[in-house]
Structure 1
Amino acid sequence: MVSNLSPDFSGDRVAAIVDELVDLEGPLLPILHAVQEEFGCVPQDALPVIAKKLNLSRAEVHGVMSFYHDFREQPAGRHTVKICRAEACQSMGGDRIAEHAKGRFKVDFGQTAPDGSVTLEAAYCLGLCACAPAAMVDGKVVGRVDEARIDAISSEVRS
């Protein structure tokens, strides 16, 4: 069996995270966030540890993790660029911007560039509808994104 573990993965550390948060009401989401914060992703090998400690099936944990777009199975690149795919942004040219971004970064949504510089992700509303189309670069929202702005972002994250 091939593991997707990062070199820093520790089942003991995952168990400790679960133990720290298990008493919260609805602890699964906070646990998944904490694991991702610790390891840069939620490795598949962490799911059985979480499931056992919460008395859930691995499928239940995986279902929650895969439902939310913010959780990833592999670490992201050094920079994360999210392109809004919601209706307001689409109506303002978001599809064209998304295609341009995929071409410029040479990756599809959910992928990381081979050099590890950037991960491109789809977002489903960044809350910047009045300034559509919108993007988010390393947690900072950017409004009125056009092809030139995507090109500038690409240059910034790859420098």
Structure 2
Amino acid sequence: MLAQLLCQYQDTPGGLLPLLQDIQEDLGYIPPESIPGIAEVMNLSAAEVHGVVSFYHDFSTRPGARHSLQVCAAESCQASGGLELEQVARDALGVNFGEVTDDGAVELKKVYCLGNCACSPSVRIDNETYARLDAGRLRALIAGLRTTEERG
């Protein structure tokens, strides 16, 4: 699959981000060993590709949990109750930022902007953004994730 994606984006100007997004979607992460090949096909240095992968919080270089909970820590969210949401997420999941729950269900991530400042505070669960959250709504969302995992 990776080789097919590399061929697909090889001659696409500005194709690095779409290529990385497709790899992330297909594999769940960007394998570190693929970075030199990506760089060669895209006519970039491995450092440039690694810089893009490490800059964007949507990319990961290791397989993640089945779900991702991203809590926005940008100024707007912080000013609107984001610190409380950070604590609720840590307490409800029993992990710190950058960690995965013991059952592998949820990875908790701190991110520095979800682009939803007008509706702060916000979190993203997998690919869905939730705005104007309070502690109770976040607890319910996390409980819903756990319920889905139990049924899964």
TM range (shorter): 0.7 to 0.9
Q: 1:144 maps to what in 2?
A: 132
Query: Is the Cα–Cα contact under 8 Å of residues 41 and 74 in structure 1 kept in the other structure?
Result: yes
| Range moving further from structure 2, 25-34 or 115-124 | 115-124
| Shift of residue 38, structure 1, vs aligned partner | 1.3
In structure 2, C-alpha distance between the alignment counterparts of 1:137 and 1:149, rounded to whole Å: 13
SS at match of 1:69: coil
1:9-158 matched pairs, under 5 angstroms: 13-158=1-146
In structure 2, C-alpha distance between the alignment counterparts of 1:129 and 1:57, rounded to whole Å: 34
In structure 2, C-alpha distance between the alignment counterparts of 1:20 and 1:143, rounded to whole Å: 36
In structure 2, C-alpha distance between the alignment counterparts of 1:54 and 1:140, rounded to whole Å: 30
Larger helix proportion, structure 1 or 2? 2
TM-score (normalised: structure 2) = 0.85
TM-score (normalised: structure 1) = 0.82
Uncovered stretches (5+) of structure 1, i.e. residues with no partner: 1-12
Query: Is the Cα–Cα contact under 8 Å of residues 21 and 31 in structure 1 kept in the other structure?
Result: yes
**Could you tell me which amino acid in structure 2 is paired with residue 133 of structure 1?**
P
1:15-51 Cα offsets, whole Å, 9 max, x none, are 3211101221112111111111110100111112212
| Shift of residue 81, structure 1, vs aligned partner | 1.5
**Could you tell me which amino acid in structure 1 is paired with residue 64 of structure 2?**
A
**Could you tell me which amino acid in structure 1 is paired with residue 113 of structure 2?**
C
| Shift of residue 138, structure 1, vs aligned partner | 2.6
Q: 1:5 maps to what in 2?
A: none
| Range moving further from structure 2, 61-70 or 131-140 | 131-140
In structure 1, C-alpha distance between the alignment counterparts of 2:121 and 2:66, rounded to whole Å: 24
User: What is the number of residues matched between the two proteins?
Assistant: 147
SS at match of 1:93: helix
Quote the RMSD (CA, aligned, Å). Answer: 1.8
In structure 2, C-alpha distance between the alignment counterparts of 1:23 and 1:89, rounded to whole Å: 40
SS at match of 2:22: helix
